[in-house]
Amino acid sequence: MLLGQDNDTGFWIDNADHRAFLRNDAGRQLDVFRRTLRADGGFDLPGWDGTPLPDGPQELHTTTRMVHSFALAKCFGFDDCDAVIDAGIHHLWHAHRDTVNGGYLWSVARDGTPADASKLAYGHMFVLLCAATAKEAGHPDADRLLADVTSVLDAHFWEDAHGLYADEFNRDWTPFSTYRGMNANMHGVEAHLAAFEATGEVGYLNRAGQIIDFFVHRMAPANDWRLPEHYTENWSVDPGYAGNPMFRPAGTTPGHSIELGRLTLQHWDLAGRKGDTAPKAARRLIIQAIDDALRPDGGFAYTLKDGQIDRPDRYWWPVSEAIGAMAALIKLDRNPQDEALYRTFWQFAQTHLIDPDHGGWFPELDEAGKPAQHQFIGKPDIYHALQADLLPLVTQLSRAAIAGSTAT
């Protein structure tokens, strides 16, 4: 399948061959992850060849991202998505949901017992996201899930004094740390924008705007447009923090700046496109991250320290997010420089990340640019790469699930 023509003087998002490539790659990804649905309604993770990996605890972000991804694919007209959506929502309600204390457990064992009973804002944001997308896809249980997780976020995570979300609690809602972080709040923007699109309830839009105001309009310009990731309880930057190497690595994470830049454009579009402050800030945030982290041999370094590359590891998800961000900038302003970057990122993905034999994307590369299994085993996620395929297919900056039905 042809990725696109280098000598095409237009924009690939308008090109029929490129758009066919996007839908084909999305379909191949769905085929890989559709097979991970187990008979008991849970999900395995696929190995490189698609064979289910040995069972382990099912984490909340795995369940929710599967629901979101297949619901979004259904909105874009892909077939055979309902079984995954049904199973995922059932698993959320009957396995992850804490019927005693409320909220959703971070991970559950195959027998349904808690493996990690922590209540994390990060995971709850993906519950909100998948509920909203499932509602767009017409699932009958989406409203119940959406209402429940919204009430949990309001009651336990939202800090009105700061206009931001706290991060983590024990099962009984006692806090087990004073950590505050950008990552959960950034995904909160994503989830709240999706919830606004699905319901029209302006409270979701306003809350997303509060988070953007803090990170994009206050913290980014105060820190040379490199977003601090980690904070203390009173939301002061904690530059020495180093946590989980995947979810909370030390330093700054350029991929998150790229992601939040795109979401800032989505919020600006939904809020009525008032002024040009938001799109200028979004572009500054995205381009600074690309300038800092894009490696000469392609792909993005994972983290920075004091603006310099700290961890050079190359993962699939920053490339996926950069594709979505450049597509958004192209929709906003048909800039040939943005198009050149969009093509560069897709060419790198096709050469190094997309599995030509089995479908799906390899999650990480070694220094030679070959697939590796250091941080990740198998193909752990469909969410980032599927959105890289689907978001460029719609012409607008927001309401992708609604517009997907007419995107060809």
Active site residues: 256, 384
Please classify residue 240 by burial: count the beta carbons closer than 10 Å to its beta carbon, then call 0-12 exposed, 13-18 middle and 19+ buried.
exposed
Least Cα distance to 187 among 164, 218, 159, 221 occurs for 164
Asked whether the beta carbons of 374 and 302 are under 8 A apart, the reply is no
- What's the rounded Cα separation, in Å, for the pair 183 and 167? 9
Please spell the DSSP secondary structure of 390-401, one letter per residue: HGGGSSSSS-HH
Cα distances (angstroms) measured from residue 312 to each of 292, 295, 297: 11, 8, 11
Spatial neighbors of 16 by CB under 8 A, at least 6 apart, are: none
Backbone angles phi, psi at 300, to 5 degrees: -115, 135
Please classify residue 332 by burial: count the beta carbons closer than 10 Å to its beta carbon, then call 0-12 exposed, 13-18 middle and 19+ buried.
middle
Q: Using the structure block, give the residue that is written with the tokens 């997780």.
A: 149
End-to-end Cα, the chain, rounded Å:
15
- What's the rounded Cα separation, in Å, for the pair 192 and 78? 25
Q: Which helix (H) or strand (E) holds 25?
A: helix 16-34
Counted residue by residue, the chain has a size of 408
Q: Which helix (H) or strand (E) holds 286?
A: helix 277-293
260-275: b (≥16 Cβ within 10 Å) or e: bbbbbbbbbbbbeeee
Please classify residue 208 by burial: count the beta carbons closer than 10 Å to its beta carbon, then call 0-12 exposed, 13-18 middle and 19+ buried.
buried
- What's the rounded Cα separation, in Å, for the pair 229 and 14? 35
